[in-house]
Amino acid sequence: MRGGLWQLGQSITRRLAHGDKKAVACRYFASEAELKKTVLYDFHVVNGGKMVPFAGWSMPIQYKDSIMDSTLNCRENGSLFDVSHMCGLSLKGKDSVQFLEKLVIADVAGLAPGAGSLTVFTNEKGGAIDDSVITKVKDDHIYLVVNAGCRDKDLAHIEEHMKAFKAKGGDVSWHIYDERSLLALQGPLAAPVLQHLTKEDLSKMYFGEFRVLDINGVQCFLTRTGYTGEDGFEISIPSESAVDLAKAILEKSEGKIRLTGLGARDSLRLEAGLCLYGNDLEQHITPIEAGLTWAIGKRRRAEGGFLGADVILKQLEEGPKIRRVGFFSSGPPPRSHSEIQDEGGNNIGEITSGGFSPCLKKNIAMGYVKSGLHKAGTKVKIIIRGKSNEGVVTKMPFVPTKYYKPS
């Protein structure tokens, strides 16, 4: 959904505020009958969720509170997101690590059992097919989650390479968890509230780690991760138990953790300086250009062995021609595709995500500029609706991250 979920949410809010429900229905809900629904769909509607099409699913863009308030509440207390539209799967077999390392940039073999990392699936030209959080559950079991909008192409890509790998004698198989739902619990109250629902000591589980454990009496896959910049968890649970778990989390928080939609999720990830696939990361953008060099393991930099490694390793050595950077700006919030110019009026790049930061109370954005003009403090012009606005390159994240790591 190019252009930003935050902007979509604001548009819906304005229309609903003016009583223009018919226009909202026509504009955003026209294909409702064709959309897939998560098992929490009715729960969302009962709780005031404003449902919109997203990646082939009907998902809540926001609830009764504003996107601004939802964003702030996540940072101050906590949020519960339904992210069941995303695709969880497992790779199993003694060669599953070897197989996956042909497709991603991560040092999967170097991960300790139960540890995970953000990674990127690359194509032959070094571009990003998708970003994903992967976990090495055991040496012969990898758990990963891919984006909803990329599900079909990701699964086709994995399957194509898996068939070739198995034809050469490789031992790997997969299972797609369509029978499970996925909840993301984020914010400072995430751990203390979830602790009420499990006997496992969550204080001993750090960012990026994975466990199979009972939560609310049901066996779940728990990963300490998220896409908000806050501490938190993603909980994979059998779908028949998902609504009960959502209710239990909200009840244990005594109203402080709120159901939160895709609009606030977008502003939270933007404040955290995280990429949205389809905006900030695409087939023609390499991990180096996207500022994800840190995700390429040291061994992988030396050995390569993944699709597009020749392009990526050359960029590592020589530097990329463009780089993803953050911006503060004046005027209206920058939008995806807004032109970026240097002070002389020359085109130097393009905005990929932008909006008004609820936490910082000012415009933030990210985009790509020519190398050499990517350093913090570089002054730029951002063109919005034909008008030039002052901007400055800044470091990301815009809001400090609070991932739970060993002290």
Residues of the binding site for substrate: 234
Q: Please name the residue that has the structure tokens 């012969």.
A: 140
What is the rounded CA–CA span in Å between residue 288 and residue 371?
12
User: CA quadruple 355, 356, 358, 360: dihedral positive or negative?
Assistant: positive
Nearest alpha carbon to residue 216 among 194, 186, 183: 194
What is the rounded CA–CA span in Å between residue 152 and residue 230?
29
Count how many Cα atoms sit within 13 Å of the Cα of residue 138 in the half-sphere of its side chain: 6
Quote the tokens at residue 19. 């009583």
Full DSSP string of 240-293: GGHHHHHHHHHHHTTTSEEE--HHHHHHHHHHTT---BTTTB-TT--TTTTT-G
210-215 and 87-92: which strand pairing? unpaired
Furthest C-alpha separation in the chain: 63
Write down how long the chain is.
407
Read off the DSSP letter of residue 334.
Answer: P
What is the rounded CA–CA span in Å between residue 369 and residue 71?
28
Q: Are 369 and 392 in contact (CB under 8 A)?
A: no
User: Which residue type is seen at 28?
Assistant: Y
Nearest alpha carbon to residue 128 among 292, 5, 263, 249: 292
Give the chain's count of helices (H) and strands (E): 11, 19
Enumerate the known binding-site residues: 234
Q: Are 296 and 141 in contact (CB under 8 A)?
A: no
